[in-house]
Amino acid sequence: MRRGNWQVSQAEPEVVSSLAAGLGISRVTAHVLASRGISDVVSARRFLDADPRQLHNPFLLNDMDRAATRVARAIRRGERIRVYGDYDVDGISATALLVSFLRRHGAKVDYQLPHRLEDGYGLHMAAVEKAAHDGITLLITVDCGITAFREASHCRSLGVDLVITDHHEAQETLPDAIAVVDPKRRDSLYPFRELAGVGVALKLAQAVDMCLSGRLSESLPLEHYLDLVALGTIGDVMPLVGENRVIARYGLMSMPRSENTGISALLEASGLSDRKLEAWHVSFGLAPRINAAGRLGSPDMAVELFLTDKAEEAAWIARVLNGKNQERQAIEDLILAQAMTRIGEDPGLREKRAIVLAGAGWHPGVIGIVASRLVEVFNRPAVLISLDGDTGRGSGRSIPGFDLYEALVSCRDTLEGFGGHELACGLTIRRENIRAFSERFTEIAGTMITGEMLAPPPLMVDAEADLHEIGEDLVRELERLGPYGVSNPSPVIVTRNLRVLEYRRIGRDGKHLKMRVGDGEWVREAIGFGLGERAMDIFRLRGAAIDVAFSPEVNEWNGQRFVRLNVKDFARSEEGSDESYGPGSWTAASR
């Protein structure tokens, strides 16, 4: 819980003034832009516009010409095509997008997704052999394949042409495929590296459309697909900058009026059909429901949701996914409660700089989420292992600065298998090796993780402002910087020397903190979600002014609209902190 650990961004006054004058925006918004490295009017206008015309030519991606030409030829010749995806929201949306696009062009196409528990991640040999057996002549991967060396060679030996589209890190050597399209190829000159798997699938669709139409410029109607691309991009927690921000902005705008029957049904089942959508609605509302299909069973149902044009079928699938997500939440809460109890009962475990826990019956499709929640709580790497007889399947999450994959390399003699990257991993292990793995892993963490790494990172503050500058006009201006997400967080502003005029805890168990704050002239409502326990801090500081770090927003309640401060943190003011309130001016309101 933060208490004044802030890092306030600085900006050159001349740059702020230039941006404000050139764009006709407030000083505060100009300061936010400048604090994020946008220092000239042309760049700022391009950033604020975020127009689909800013999307790059798909043929700038290495091998795209070969991939698009081969797919177009398969469509014209009536060859059998199979799209092979992944079981998460990115792979599911990418599969649905490409299958839908190919069907629109009359292709003979089907799809296959791996089962998380039975197959694991990525293209595998059995899938290649099945494709050959089924008469598939062109296999296209989406959101996977960049490390499928054996599978690519097997495709060639069986006479199945393989086109790989992926967005994960590539090695120096690439699989032996007809084409390997990945913005993270080491020889890539593509201007934007951070596309999601579904973003790369969109690029392939654009390129194929150009090949089929004979046009030199891209003509694919993006309104058919940007909603799906935004769903996968935001759901896969990709940085919302560059092309991803354009995709997310226009995809979110198109979702409420989507032509995709499945997206409309999913919005209805999630209670979001009448809402103005923001990125967090996807992250916490839509994506978990899609991911639940692959976590607890087969992901095929989620693909069918986006492929069907029957409203009744889509509504039924959306309801089933809603139920699966509720089941996932219950399983997650149970595992988390068990893990927290074990940590609380073991002082030695709490002192270590990494957490390793194993449990019989823990669902292997859910332990990764629980590991993430443990990292959030304890700010240290966590590996959870699901035991089934003599074997265990594990999932780990890490903190910045501790390379989880390299730590597993150092523990490889205790593992049956493992994979992943710096911040996330999966592993298999024999039950009898868990103790040795735990000791080795926590020893490595104890050596590599410093006290500074365990400390909560500072709250990044974009600008300082007086209370009179916080109004609806500012909120509207800041909305143009969205959608907010990874690498483009919601702007945080600090206003200093405020008085708390009223405060109370609200919500279940008093989890949240509601306040009214003022500067002697202006008053604003404020809400601190999850800050209910900080009410005691206000009580202890009675008589002192506070600095408040917040994101401004417009709240609507009982037909009224008003500006509210969404409080991230507050601390005692240095300036004027010895001044006290007059009698009765500090109020702890009743609940």
Token reading at 280: 């967090």
Segment 435-475, tens digit of pLDDT:
999 999 999 999 999 988 888 889 999 999 999 999 999 99
Token reading at 111: 């799809």
pLDDT bracket for residue 587 (50, 70, 90): very low
> Is the pLDDT reported for residue 318 higher than 90?
yes
Residue 560, beta-bridge partner list: 557
463-464 and 80-84 beta bridge pairing: unpaired
DSSP state of 135: T
Residue 269, beta-bridge partner list: none
> Is the pLDDT reported for residue 2 higher than 70?
no
Q: How much is the mean pLDDT over the chain? A: 92
Sheet holding 161-165, edge to edge: 108-112, 80-84, 138-141, 161-165, 179-181
Question: What's residue 580's pLDDT?
Answer: 39
Q: Average pLDDT in the 146-161 region?
A: 95
Q: Average pLDDT in the 344-355 region?
A: 89
Question: What is the crossing angle of helices 89-104 and 300-307, to 10°?
Answer: 40
Segment 288-304, tens digit of pLDDT:
999 999 988 899 999 99
Question: What's residue 578's pLDDT?
Answer: 45
Q: Average pLDDT in the 209-232 region?
A: 83
Q: Average pLDDT in the 575-586 region?
A: 40
Q: Which CATH architecture has domain 462-572?
A: Beta Barrel (2.40)
Distance (Å) of CA 72 to CA 118, 166, 552: 33, 19, 49
Distance (Å) of CA 418 to CA 27, 123, 127, 134, 404: 51, 16, 21, 31, 11
Place of tokens 């690029």: 203
Q: Average pLDDT in the 401-405 region?
A: 91
Segment 168-205, tens digit of pLDDT:
888 899 999 999 999 999 999 999 999 999 999 999 99
3-state SS assignment for residue 508: helix
> Is the pLDDT reported for residue 489 higher than 90?
yes
pLDDT bracket for residue 216 (50, 70, 90): low
Question: What's residue 219's pLDDT?
Answer: 61
> Is the pLDDT reported for residue 76 higher than 70?
yes
Q: From the DSSP assignment, how many helices (H) and strands (E) are in the chain?
A: 22, 18
Listed residue (48, 42, 39, 31) closest to 491, CA to CA: 31
Question: What's residue 581's pLDDT?
Answer: 35
| Cβ neighbours of residue 340 closer than 8 Å, sequence gap 6 or more | 377
* CATH no. of 58-319: 3.90.1640.30
- Residue 304 · residue 99 · CB < 8 Å: no
Place of tokens 């194929």: 208
> Is the pLDDT reported for residue 591 higher than 60?
no
- Residue 506 · residue 525 · CB < 8 Å: no
> Is the pLDDT reported for residue 570 higher than 60?
yes
Question: What's residue 586's pLDDT?
Answer: 34
> Is the pLDDT reported for residue 80 higher than 70?
yes
pLDDT bracket for residue 590 (50, 70, 90): very low
Token reading at 152: 């690519």
Cα–Cα distance measured from residue 486 to residue 579, given in angstroms and rounded to the nearest whole number: 40
Question: What's residue 451's pLDDT?
Answer: 86
pLDDT bracket for residue 220 (50, 70, 90): low
Task: Give the residue ranges of DSSP H helices in 105-165.
Answer: 125-133, 149-158
Percent share of the chain, pLDDT over 70: 96
> For the CA atoms of the chain, what is the radius of gyration?
26
Question: What's residue 588's pLDDT?
Answer: 36
Question: What's residue 350's pLDDT?
Answer: 81
Q: Where are the domains of the chain?
A: 58-319, 346-454, 462-572
Cα–Cα distance measured from residue 141 to residue 477, given in angstroms and rounded to the nearest whole number: 41
Q: What is the dihedral of CA 139, 143, 148, 151, to 10 degrees?
A: -30
Question: What's residue 583's pLDDT?
Answer: 29
Question: What's residue 62's pLDDT?
Answer: 97
Place of tokens 């769903």: 231
Terminal alpha carbon distance of the chain: 23
Q: Average pLDDT in the 539-559 region?
A: 89
DSSP state of 491: P
Q: Average pLDDT in the 68-74 region?
A: 97
Positive or negative CA dihedral for 445, 448, 451, 452?
negative
Cα–Cα distance measured from residue 446 to residue 150, given in angstroms and rounded to the nearest whole number: 37
- Residue 82 · residue 136 · CB < 8 Å: yes
Task: Give the residue ranges of DSSP H helices in 459-529.
Answer: 472-479
> Is the pLDDT reported for residue 161 higher than 90?
yes
pTM of the model: 0.89
Cα–Cα distance measured from residue 211 to residue 72, given in angstroms and rounded to the nearest whole number: 7
Q: Is 145 left (phi over 0), alpha (psi -120 to 50) or beta?
A: left
| Separation of CA 462 from chain center | 22
pLDDT bracket for residue 577 (50, 70, 90): very low
Token reading at 334: 């149970």
* CATH no. of 346-454: 3.10.310.30
- Residue 573 burial class via C-beta count within 10 angstroms: exposed 0-12, middle 13-18, buried 19 and up: buried
